[in-house]
Amino acid sequence: MPELPEVEWVARGLRPIVTGRTITEVECIWPGHIDRPDVAELCARLTGRTITGVQRRGKYLVLTLDSGEFLLIHLRMSGNLMLSNPADPRDKHVHTVFHLAASPAGEPPIELRFQDQRKFGRVYLVHDPQEVLYKLGPEPLDDDFTVEVLRQRLHGRKRLLKPLLLDQTIVAGVGNIYADEALWDARLHPLRRTDTLTDDEITRLHAAIRRALQRGIEHGGSSISIYIRPDGSQGAMQNEFNVYNQTGRPCPRCSTPIEKMFVAGRGTHICPVCQKREDK
């Protein structure tokens, strides 16, 4: 599911509710999600800990704990985190439940439920987040992600643009939706190679990556398939796509029907007129 904008909204949804609450119990219904440490140790080390903050790094959620440890969660394709009243029935795909005590302000206890249809999501409890995050490239929306930074990261490489954008070590947080949206915005073909890009094209690509992700955040993320925010509300970005999932519909720039192709095994949507294979 979630790419950077969706994970950002999960973090924003969780932050005011879970910060300051203590984990009273961890219920592991399907332990396959737990990457490290093992399930028993994870439950033991989390129980009694207080959540001190909620951050995002790329597509990872980072919960900071009063023990100095970090609870990292990656939602992968179909994972989701929901805040629920303990009395509410559980979805059948809920695999781990974090029971949270009443808040310091007196809000009643709540459950943080990790649900995941396809079971690709992962949970890590670590002393140092870099243990998991060390490979990630820069945060694309940070001020220090400049055109020059992108240029340097492409220097000497010969890669196809689509797989490049999906590579989290180049830039963190872009997935299939926002890669297609960014390439359309930059008027670049997904099969263009990085070593053929002009300075102007790199500048366009840099701006387009940031614009696509920023738009995603501004519209509350994309709620397609099963993704919704922790409070059950939906994003609206799915109504704003220019090319993603728009096969056959007119390009918003030139009205040419959007085409779908496959690149690196991923569905890829382009405007065949705006995104010429070898334009400048």
Partner DNA sequence: ACCGGAGCCTGTTAGC
Partner DNA sequence: TGCTAACAGGCTCCGG
120 burial class (0-12, 13-18, 19+ CB within 10 angstroms)? middle
Respond yes or no: is residue 3 known to be catalytic.
yes
87 burial class (0-12, 13-18, 19+ CB within 10 angstroms)? exposed
Pick the binder of DNA from 227, 229, 243, 246 (CB under 7 A). 227
Residue 57 near DNA by CB under 7 A: no
Pick the binder of DNA from 3, 8, 181, 185 (CB under 7 A). 3
Residues of this chain, 238-257, that bind DNA according to CB under 7 A = none
Respond yes or no: is residue 119 known to be catalytic.
no
Binding mask 122-141 for DNA (x = CB under 7 A): -------------x------
Token pair listed for 214: 């920023």
Respond yes or no: is residue 210 known to be catalytic.
no
Residue 166 near DNA by CB under 7 A: yes
270 burial class (0-12, 13-18, 19+ CB within 10 angstroms)? buried
Check 59, 153, 162, 204 and give the catalytic one: 59
Residue 263 near DNA by CB under 7 A: yes
Pick the binder of DNA from 14, 21, 54, 58 (CB under 7 A). 58
The SS3 assignment for 116 reads strand
CA distance 112 to 71: 13
Count of beta carbons in the 10 Å neighbourhood of residue 250: 12
Respond yes or no: is residue 21 known to be catalytic.
no
Residues of this chain, 141-160, that bind DNA according to CB under 7 A = 156-160
CA distance 66 to 107: 20
Phi, psi of 165 (to 5 degrees): -70, -25
Residue 223 near DNA by CB under 7 A: yes
Residue 176 near DNA by CB under 7 A: yes
The residue ranges that bind DNA (CB under 7 A) are: 1-3, 6, 32, 58-59, 74, 76-77, 92-93, 117-120, 135, 156-160, 163-164, 166, 168, 175-177, 194, 221-227, 263-267
